[in-house]
Chains A and B, each alone.
Chain A
């Protein structure tokens, strides 16, 4: 197991090197001159030269690449173009609001999806199952932007059930994240429910279920104590894969509801062509993905004694 983890980590290093290369290369082509962003129109040539010197703009690509890699090791990505705040501070500010939205949304969403999935798996082939399948397909066919616009307009603007926009630190956050959490659950339920239904149906067709039934265990008990426990393995593995996305946050929800999280930070950074923030974001997102991908495989082996990592 430890050998496996070490090998996966070693394998991740070239991946990160290539991602760093692509990130730097793509955004360097795309972004253009930072002086145009920072100094406004008609800057003096001296000011431009000084800024280029300070940011290392004229450095050869390999030097920039080396610096960028070093930033990833030290987690120090310098300062933002727009207001000279250290990127680290910007991230530290955004993580709280983001997690206050994504963690409750994800936990509630998974709970609802799993319960619904077990329910339709229990009544598989019935009218309920078929209806829910069509409803789930319909739910994932609506554009996420339409969900946000309609719910914000109807529930917040017209019916005044939730605040339209804004955020408050501490417990006050609950009122502000309630509607985004609701939308997140609706957005994820279609895909998740169908996934967990497949998982549950696969488990139901196994021998231990037949054995339990033949012993006379009630169908309900088979489902909730035998099948559910075995379903936990794919559920937990799936959760591990999703964690990085919880940290990077929900882009659209944060923009529309004015939650000052990481998604919103990224949106502002893209609008301002704030390269240090964008590059740091891409790299950290990748690192998180790689780490949790390994953790997902490990958790699989830990939870399921039949799985041996080679």
Chain B
């Protein structure tokens, strides 16, 4: 009986519980409270992006000097009731007079800086998510193949990435951007339609350009890491066991090797997400980024001329919103690295 009561003293939490690697990682991630806070921040940004996605790209394009009904209609589109508040006549600094429309002031065209800042979240998520996705898919696939197959496949992949890495980064980005935006591709894309669905209305050429440029230029880091890790993993016993059971290369690669290097992919996704939304600002400033949709890059690039005349609020808004998202993703990425590293069991 004594044994049993001693056993009782070991609470359930003290017993070794079988956890899947994902549960284990989440258990460790949860310990970092600041990480959880930033995860919530990312979720809020994502909801804002979805909200911005519901009313297309138009939204807050209310222009100073519009007639009142037109202005009300455009705000109505956003689901915002004006309730007799005045609409902005020209660029005004932050004031409570116009409610949410002018709470952070208006830009040179009388558009609400507040709503425009929130709407830009959509561009950030599209560029970040799809740019990073393209990048990790290329990097992961090439890294897996090079590491697992070795031989000439490996030599080709290494040659491709060492070539790509040796070209000055910004020039490579600009060269690809010029080809996408100015070449024959631009006309072809403009006409691209699936039945009645015009693709270029949904994702404009400027946006697609950013996704392609970021995807094609930022996969090298992940490819190197995955290749090096697969080199180690492929010699391990369980891979040999899988081979001796007669499993095909594809099955071993995706069912046995990939899960063991996938933490690198997740971590790299968060890093590339940040690179993507920061590159959006630089590329938009250089004139090869987005031009139709509201984006933080556009606002920040435009602030170059505004700031010297004392107009600080568009820069402050876009800069802060951009900072919030990048900080959150950077921090969560860092916490993920600690949580997912199998060598750091605590």
Contact = CB atoms under 8 A, between A and B. Distances in A.
Contacts, number: 109
B300 A146 contact: yes
Given A26-B175, A145-B281, A153 B168 contact: no
B250 interface: no
Interface string B279-323: 001100110000000001000110110011000100100010011
Given A270-B286, A285-B167, A290-B166, A141 B327 contact: yes
B178 A26 contact: yes
B183 A140 contact: no
Interface stretch (A29-37, A80-88, A173-181, A300-308): A29-37
B174 A270 contact: yes
Contact of A137 (B281, B301, B312, B334): B334
Contacts of A188: none
Contact of B330 (A27, A140, A149, A256): A140
A149 B168 contact: no
Given A149-B303, A157-B308, A270-B174, A142 B319 contact: yes
A278 interface: yes
Which of A137, A144, A252, A290 has most chain B Cβ within 10 Å? A137
B319 A289 contact: no
B171 A278 contact: yes
Contact of B278 (A143, A149, A256): A143
B167 A31 contact: no
A38 B296 CA distance: 35
Interface in B159-181: 159, 162-163, 165-168, 170-171, 174-176, 178-179
Interface in A127-161: 134, 137-138, 140-146, 149-150, 152-153, 157
Contacts of B286: 270
B219 to A, nearest CB: 16
Nearest to B306: A149
A84 to B, nearest CB: 23
B331 interface: yes
A77 B178 CA distance: 22
A248 interface: yes
Contacts of A256: 304
B120 interface: no
A72 interface: no
Q: Chain A: interface residue count, which band?
A: 35 or more
A280 to B, nearest CB: 11
A286 interface: yes
B282 A27 contact: no
Nearest to B274: A141
A143 B319 contact: yes
A30 B168 contact: no
A145 B303 CA distance: 10
A31 B282 CA distance: 21
Given A137-B330, A143-B281, A282 B182 contact: no
B327 A19 contact: no
B326 interface: yes
A26 B319 contact: no
A140 B323 CA distance: 9
Contacts of B34: 134
Interface string B126-162: 0000000000000000000000000000000001001
Given A145-B281, A157-B308, A281-B168, 8 more contacts: A18-B163, A19-B166, A26-B178, A30-B175, A137-B331, A145-B282, A252-B282, A270-B174
Which 4 residue pairs spanning A and B have beta carbons closest together?
A30-B178, A285-B168, A141-B326, A26-B175
